[in-house]
Chains A and B, each alone.
Chain A
């Protein structure tokens, strides 16, 4: 049932929205057409980010992908929780406060990976300031160091923070673009891997901004 709900949602709501409101321009879409187990790592400025990435993954592969999301935000009871699971299939983790004894987020993600699932991860940890990249948290590096077979697909999302920034309750149309890098394997320690992934995402961002519709006259 949930599968058909998702298919309907993505084809009837998300697709038209992405086409007419965002007019999205995608580079490197083929990099997401993989059947390997991957972690999609992206900058994060908007609730749209998850929707856009899941749409790019496509309804056929979507079931294997778990967007890692903050439980304190999405698991408040009611429709938000229901739709977070039904439409986005989130993997809820608890952002730790001081003295918090709940399960370590890394362990939650590790369990999903061992179950063969792919992850969508925003290592900035929060949507933050619109269109600015915050430093990456080291969780992604820890995971990739632990599971070297995992490939990382770096993604840069441009414009989502303008369309629906943090704190906004209605979208405003702008043209947005997505730049997807090739799936890459990493070896080494967590810190180095995190820095390398952050550098890749940043580079995709620079490339996106430099190639905005042919800056060269």
Chain B
């Protein structure tokens, strides 16, 4: 394969893959809304309030993300930066921090504009080492300057881990835009599949869920939801492979892989929330919880998918 297939004009025209993707998402939103409406009409006993709230939030989130990425690459990068900030803030609110951590926390937040500056200028080498190398060294040094040694390892680890997941990991989404022609399409594809995998797993689990898959960490997740989710995601990946340079079979396998990775990301963030004793990271997005609850899967799928396509296609 070459990346010729991925070469598309930067502007979005009505027949471009990005516009087509927008149409697919719109169709799914309309279908989901219609189905929920008819379910409510035909079975009055069913409590669909939670589903309605979720769908309403999707009507905001999906057009916002698609719009930012489609209109202007800079808007897309900026939106990802805001998402990183919100997710990191929710993470730092959840985990235990003390007053002596304030300096290191402050610098962690400042990492976001710096990391996104590297992305904006397309400096790949700096983007990929800035947090793993320089911040790995800087955060402990800032803690040392503070001079508080109680729980030093745990406190410093907590702060740095959040940085790795919610800034470094998620910022791979933004760099996809900078990968070259076709990068924006791949970003939209990645986010679409990761989110639709969550939705499919939710629907399969609600309908057929019997056997708990990780009762200690996330009691609502079932084997039926997981397997149904990745299967559906694979199919949708095939169906939307016009966004990518992949063959149908390749798209299916990547879709399944993203489903598995997303599931693991979901569980990892669920473990963080368990540790903190909460169900949702905040109530910023009605029906979904916090930003953290919406990007949990992306912390895994974004870096994995990014390096996959970068290795093979760019």
Contacts and interface: CB of A to CB of B under 8 A. Distances in A.
B278 A175 contact: no
B173 interface: no
Interface stretch (A110-118, A132-140, A164-172): A164-172
B98 to A, nearest CB: 9
Interface string A180-216: 0000000000000000000000000000000011111
A173 B85 CA distance: 10
Contact of B106 (A25, A170, A213, A214): A170
A212 B278 contact: yes
B244 to A, nearest CB: 35
B219 A213 contact: no
Contact of A213 (B86, B109, B220, B280): B280
A175 B102 contact: no
A25 B97 contact: no
Contact of B89 (A165, A170, A174, A212): A174
A217 interface: yes
Q: Is the interface of A mostly helix, strand, loop or mixed?
A: loop
Given A23-B89, A172-B102, A217 B279 contact: yes
Given A23-B282, A25-B282, A174-B89, A215 B102 contact: no
Contacts of A168: 99, 102
Contacts, number: 48
A128 interface: no
A159 interface: yes
A214 B278 contact: yes
Contacts of A165: 99, 102
Interface of A: 23, 25, 130, 159, 162, 165, 168, 170, 172-175, 212-217
Interface of B: 85-86, 89-90, 92-93, 97, 99, 102, 105-106, 109, 219-220, 277-284, 289-290
4 closest A-B pairs by CB? A214-B279, A175-B93, A213-B280, A174-B93
Given A172-B106, A174-B92, A213-B290, 11 more contacts: A23-B284, A25-B282, A25-B283, A159-B93, A165-B99, A172-B105, A174-B89, A175-B89, A213-B279, A213-B280, A214-B279
